[in-house]
A = this chain, B = another copy of it.
């Protein structure tokens, strides 16, 4: 959420000569996304009409070896009508470059703003966009393992170990209990596909009630398709602190997704379990970051308990209420 690698504007301007993008007229480091460095660029444009791009330099959290997967995925989705930011090829057809000592890519800029308090109409549009994304992903040949799947949660919980209880007394035991429950009940036979896996409101650009872009695919991977809806549900249907549940948003997301893609009976039946898994996944990554970030660091630590509250909610929720009719 900062600019980690500073690239002189002269170097960015020289970098742009590889592309049919015009000359640089503005470059602003932006505070966005996962741990990459991002610049919002403005150029004269190939046609002299001005054009904007995102320049991303990949820091340690994104593995360079994964970039072709993300590039091919966004090309596949974009070609099928999804509003996703495509990686731009230079005049030699090359999309992956080096800049400032980092892997770097020039990426489409999409307009739209990220809502913080989604209305039901906006939540429905998000559900529709996720359904359309899953529909467009059919036939995509690429695969990428979800490093944050159930095995990943076990590994992360083990690394947090005794430190969970620094965050809240009894948290370690609660996590162990939930992992045991999910081991016993995690669905085995649901349809799998490429999923976004991180579709928070931050990663959905909107204008009014219309989705104008889905961004930040750096967690995208191959996993249970309906788990993507569970992640989205856990991100969109609560207050930030997880204390308040917004049933109207949940119904809207569920209906939007079902209208655009459809949900099988088996997916609906497993949905509360998938939501518990989604809540645990974010609880665990937040707990790990909490334990490993000094309290006085200038990075904002996200509260793991906001996802404990969601997990507790899903454990007790009436399954019929989670997705509406």
Enumerate chain A interface residues (CB-CB to B < 8 A).
2-3, 8-10, 12-13, 24-32, 40, 42, 111-117, 207, 294, 296-299
Q: Is the Cβ of A24 less than 8 Å from the Cβ of B298? A: no
Query: Which of B31, B114, B115 makes the CB contact (< 8 A) with A2?
Result: B31
Q: Is the Cβ of A27 less than 8 Å from the Cβ of B113? A: yes
Q: Is the Cβ of A113 less than 8 Å from the Cβ of B24? A: yes
Q: How far is the CB of A294 from chain B (nearest CB, A)?
A: 7
Question: Nearest residue in B to A4 (C-beta to C-beta)?
Answer: B298
Known contacts A25-B111, A26-B111, A28-B30; can you find 4 more A-B pairs with CB under 8 A?
A2-B298, A27-B113, A29-B30, A30-B31
Please, which residues of chain B bring their CB within 8 A of the CB of A296? 294, 297
Q: Once bound together, how far apart are the Cα atoms of A36 and B59, in whole Å?
A: 25
Q: A113 and B207 in contact (CB under 8 A), knowing A30-B40, A294-B296?
A: no
Please, which residues of chain B bring their CB within 8 A of the CB of A13? 113
Q: Once bound together, how far apart are the Cα atoms of A205 and B114, in whole Å?
A: 29
Q: How far is the CB of A30 from chain B (nearest CB, A)?
A: 4
Please, which residues of chain B bring their CB within 8 A of the CB of A40? 28, 30, 40
Q: A28 and B28 in contact (CB under 8 A), knowing A9-B116, A297-B298?
A: yes
Please, which residues of chain B bring their CB within 8 A of the CB of A114? 9
Q: Once bound together, how far apart are the Cα atoms of A294 and B10, in whole Å?
A: 32
Q: How far is the CB of A4 from chain B (nearest CB, A)?
A: 9
Q: Is the Cβ of B42 less than 8 Å from the Cβ of A111? A: yes
Q: Is the Cβ of B42 less than 8 Å from the Cβ of A8? A: no
Q: A25 and B112 in contact (CB under 8 A), knowing A3-B31, A10-B117?
A: yes
Q: Once bound together, how far apart are the Cα atoms of A113 and B13, in whole Å?
A: 9
A to B CB contacts below 8 Å, 12 in the list: A2-B2, A3-B31, A9-B114, A12-B113, A24-B113, A25-B112, A29-B32, A30-B30, A31-B31, A294-B296, A296-B297, A297-B297
Q: Is the Cβ of B298 less than 8 Å from the Cβ of A113? A: no
Question: Nearest residue in B to A114 (C-beta to C-beta)?
Answer: B9
Q: A28 and B24 in contact (CB under 8 A), knowing A9-B114, A10-B115, A115-B9?
A: no
Q: Is the Cβ of A113 less than 8 Å from the Cβ of B26? A: yes
Kindly name the residue among A9, A117, A207, A297 whose own CB sees the greatest number of chain B CB atoms within 10 A. A9
Q: Once bound together, how far apart are the Cα atoms of A9 and B204, in whole Å?
A: 12
Please, which residues of chain B bring their CB within 8 A of the CB of A207? 25
Q: How far is the CB of A70 from chain B (nearest CB, A)?
A: 21
Q: Once bound together, how far apart are the Cα atoms of A31 and B40, in whole Å?
A: 11
Q: Is the Cβ of B2 less than 8 Å from the Cβ of A113? A: no
Question: Nearest residue in B to A40 (C-beta to C-beta)?
Answer: B28
Q: How far is the CB of A23 from chain B (nearest CB, A)?
A: 8
Please, which residues of chain B bring their CB within 8 A of the CB of A116? 8-10
Query: Which of B8, B10, B113 makes the CB contact (< 8 A) with A9?
Result: B113
Q: How far is the CB of A74 from chain B (nearest CB, A)?
A: 19
Please, which residues of chain B bring their CB within 8 A of the CB of A294? 296
Q: Once bound together, how far apart are the Cα atoms of A296 and B42, in whole Å?
A: 34
